[in-house]
Amino acid sequence: MGTGTVVMLVICAIFVFGILFFVAIYNKLIQLKNRFKNAFAQIDVQLKRRYDLIPNLVETAKGYMKHEREALEAVIKARNMASNAMEKASADPGNTENMQGLIGAESALSGTLGRLFALAEAYPDLKANQNMMQLSEELTTTENKVSFARQAFNDAVMAYNTARELFPNNIVANMFAFQEAQLFEIEVEAEKEAPKVSF
């Protein structure tokens, strides 16, 4: 073999290696993106369960809290807003705007639920109601599951964001428009805790 042939083979080998290297990086980014989408699907399941429990909770409370109509309506309104924000975020969990909307809606819902439970303390018959106690327990369990699912999602997002920022991954990420994913963080310290639902 001549020198020209050897040089050509080396250039071809480098080219093939480069393509395989870029394909490997691209596939790794896709894998990490799918992981955080799957992790968000787990949040989606738990939040939908939460949203399904809230109307039942409000219905149970209505019979006892006739004078607290505004608080009950505020909970349902906040629940509907959070549910709509959840649908948008579910469509594209990597979209920062959708995730920020969900974070804000969830913060508002947590706040209204907290106020509802604070008001419920003044109604001993409501506190003793078996249905209310069961719904409160289910809501507390669901809140805990949401927290665990949110942590798993944030871990997956962090792995994805880190991988897309590393060199040479960042070159592939920029070439194929892999956008930074938004963490699902509750921003107000008091809202990082699940609502207290002791009955």
Q: Is the pLDDT of residue 129 over 90?
A: no
Integer distance in angstroms from the first to the last C-alpha of the chain?
86
* Residue 71 exposed, middle or buried by CB count within 10 Å (0-12, 13-18, 19+): middle
Residue 4 reports pLDDT greater than 90 = no
Indicate the number of domains in the chain: 1
Residue 2, classified by CB atoms within 10 Å of its CB into exposed (0-12), middle (13-18) or buried (19+), is exposed
Q: Tell me what the mean pLDDT of segment 67-71 comes to.
A: 81
* Residue 87 domain boundaries: 3-192
Amino acid, single-letter form, for residue 33: K
pLDDT tier at 19 (50, 70, 90 boundaries)?
Answer: very high
Domain membership flag for residue 199? no
78 within some domain: yes
pLDDT confidence bin for 185, thresholds 50/70/90: confident
Q: Is 4 exposed, middle or buried (0-12, 13-18, 19+ CB in 10 A)?
A: exposed
Residue 197 lies in a domain: no
Confidence at residue 190, expressed as pLDDT on a 0 to 100 scale: 47
> Peptide bond preceding 55: is omega within 30 degrees of 0, i.e. cis?
no
pLDDT above 50 (res 192): no
Q: Looking at the domain assignment, is residue 93 inside a domain?
A: yes
Mean pLDDT of 123-151: 86
49-58, 73-82, 106-115, 183-192: which range is least confident on average? 183-192
Residue 155 covered by a domain = yes
Report yes or no on 37 lying in a domain.
yes
Residue type, 57: L
Q: What is the CATH number of the domain that holds 152?
A: 1.20.1440.20
Answer whether residue 163 is part of any domain.
yes
Asked whether the predicted pLDDT for residue 153 surpasses 50, the reply is yes
Q: How far is residue 135's CA from residue 196's CA, in Å, rounded to a whole number?
A: 13
pLDDT value, residue 123: 81
Whether 36 is in a domain gets the answer: yes
Q: Does pLDDT of 83 surpass 80?
A: yes
Which spans in 63-129 are helix H? 69-91, 96-120, 124-128
Report the candidate in 82, 72, 18 with the shortest Cα–Cα distance to residue 52: 82
